[in-house]
Copies of this chain bind each other. A is one copy, B any other.
Amino acid sequence: MPKPIEFYFDFSSPYGYLAAQRVNEMVAEYDREVAWRPFLLGTLFKTTGAKPLLDIPMKGDYARHDLARSARLFGTPFELPERFPFMSVAACRAFYWLAESDEAAAVELAQGLYDRAFGEGGSITEPKEVAEVAEDQGHDPQEVLAALQDPRIKDLLRSEVDTAIEKGVFGSPFFIADGEPFWGYDRLEDLGIWLDTGGW
């Protein structure tokens, strides 16, 4: 059984949201699975000197236009949250906490969080907002809130972010297929060709 395709994303990344809508289905076409790996881009922005995309003159306006257009192409609901970019540390911690016991439930939570943020333009920054989404999926919100403060979970996330950086991940979404890196929503097609052909 080959290793799953690693899917790195920041919960605050709208192109990550678009990728999240399609990556599982696309990868499944090639009988492969996806390992979802949320992380925090903020740390990396210090390394690469990148600024939040939508704050950049000219590029920001284009990105707003392109995001809406890219969402429409696949019929994906899309709304930019009022507060953007936003802190996504609570969402990340909740994911890794849940993934310890149930990876599939953690992916479902990630999808629910992304839907609230970019499908409905809502907020997933505050711990209680993350707990609400988890509660809607049948998890105990008090357990979630406790996990978000758990030093062990905090360390777990830190270690995941370190691993991402070690692997050369510097943007969101970012895919790694058998060691081969693909950066950006617009590299999903290339990833598909790579999986289909075994590389070129």
A183 at the interface (CB under 8 A from B): yes
**A 24-54 contacts with B by CB, 8 A:** 44, 47-51
Whether A59 contacts B171 by the Cβ 8 Å rule is yes
Whether B47 contacts A58 by the Cβ 8 Å rule is yes
Whether B48 contacts A57 by the Cβ 8 Å rule is yes
Whether A183 contacts B44 by the Cβ 8 Å rule is no
Complex interface: chain B residues within 8 A of A200 (CB): 69, 72-73
Complex interface: chain B residues within 8 A of A49 (CB): 51, 56-57
Whether A168 contacts B72 by the Cβ 8 Å rule is no
Complex interface: chain B residues within 8 A of A168 (CB): 58, 61-62
Please give the count of copies of this chain that the complex contains: 2
A200 to B44, CA, bound (A): 35
Whether B186 contacts A186 by the Cβ 8 Å rule is yes
A147-190 CB mask vs B (1 if < 8 Å, else 0) is 00000000000000000000010110000000001011011011
Whether A57 contacts B47 by the Cβ 8 Å rule is yes
A3 at the interface (CB under 8 A from B): no
User: When the two chains form the complex, which single residue of B72, B170, B187, B190 contacts A59, counting CB atoms closer than 8 Å?
Assistant: B170
Q: What residues of chain A have their CB less than 8 Å away from a CB belonging to chain B?
A: 44, 47-51, 56-59, 61-62, 65-66, 69-70, 72-73, 168, 170-171, 181, 183-184, 186-187, 189-190, 193, 200
A selection of 29 A-B contacts at a CB cut-off of 8 Å is: A44-B58, A47-B57, A47-B58, A48-B57, A48-B58, A49-B51, A49-B56, A49-B57, A57-B170, A58-B168, A58-B170, A59-B170, A59-B171, A61-B168, A62-B168, A62-B170, A62-B181, A65-B181, A66-B187, A69-B190, A69-B200, A70-B190, A73-B190, A73-B193, A73-B200, A184-B186, A186-B186, A186-B190, A189-B189
